[in-house]
Amino acid sequence: MLFSEKASQYFKNHKNVNFSQLYGCIFDLRDRYLHVYIESVEARLMNEYMNLLSQLLEADDNTDIVFYIVAYHYLALCKEMAYEMTIKDNAPFPFIGQELSPLAKERYKKYEVFFNEGFCLIDYFNEKDLEFYNSLFWKLRYHHHSTKHFSLLEYLLNMKININRFAFNNSFVNLLELYIFRYRAIYTEERLFAYMSSETMENIINGLNIN
């Protein structure tokens, strides 16, 4: 995370800083661009993530911030994969309740044939993997029925993964490292607009504690 001087003092001194409001967004380090949205998938995912970070930063000093951030990204990516594989209208392996549907079972048999004959280019996964993702999807928090994206990590990097639950951890680590390499959450007292001039954006960026 990156902060302006006042934003840094705000979180260190637990609100004992004089300014009207704090603003946050995602900063692309490579392109030196502030992702500020009004109404979009990015806006929903970013606002959810920034609200989580604010709560963690304002919590007591014993809060393991890194643990909660990693857990958030991990579970969100699990839910994203579960949605793609078993939930959405055209999911390849749809479920009925807690079980694979007859259509899914038929497709899985064809998938096994393709994989065993060397025609399948994705990692092998079995029915237990599908059950794992589907079960986890419903155990995580409620979402609106029209929600189709759950992971800020996956959405910003635009990288889909369809793998078994054992290979998932390695893929998650790779995506997280790529995300950390490219993006930062930032907080500033300067107001953020969806259509800022390049000069205004650069002034805000220059006010962050970038080493």
Amino acid at 159: M
Per-residue pLDDT, 119:
52
Range of the domain at 157: 2-206
Q: Which two tokens stand for residue 12?
A: 């260190």
In a domain, 32, yes or no: yes
Per-residue pLDDT, 111:
77
What is this structure's pTM? 0.87
In a domain, 64, yes or no: yes
Per-residue pLDDT, 168:
87
Residue whose entry in the numeric block shows the structure tokens 């963690």: 56
Per-residue pLDDT, 187:
94
Per-residue pLDDT, 40:
86
In a domain, 116, yes or no: yes
> pLDDT, tens digit, for every residue of 86-123?
988 888 899 988 889 999 889 888 877 766 665 555 56
In a domain, 156, yes or no: yes
| Residue segments in the chain with a per-residue pLDDT below the cut of 70 | 14-19, 114-123, 211
Q: How many helices (H) and strands (E) does the chain have?
A: 8, 6
Per-residue pLDDT, 52:
93
In a domain, 58, yes or no: yes
**How many structural domains comprise the chain?**
1
In a domain, 89, yes or no: yes
Query: Taking a C-beta distance cutoff of 8 angstroms, is the pair 154, 175 a contact?
Result: yes
In a domain, 211, yes or no: no
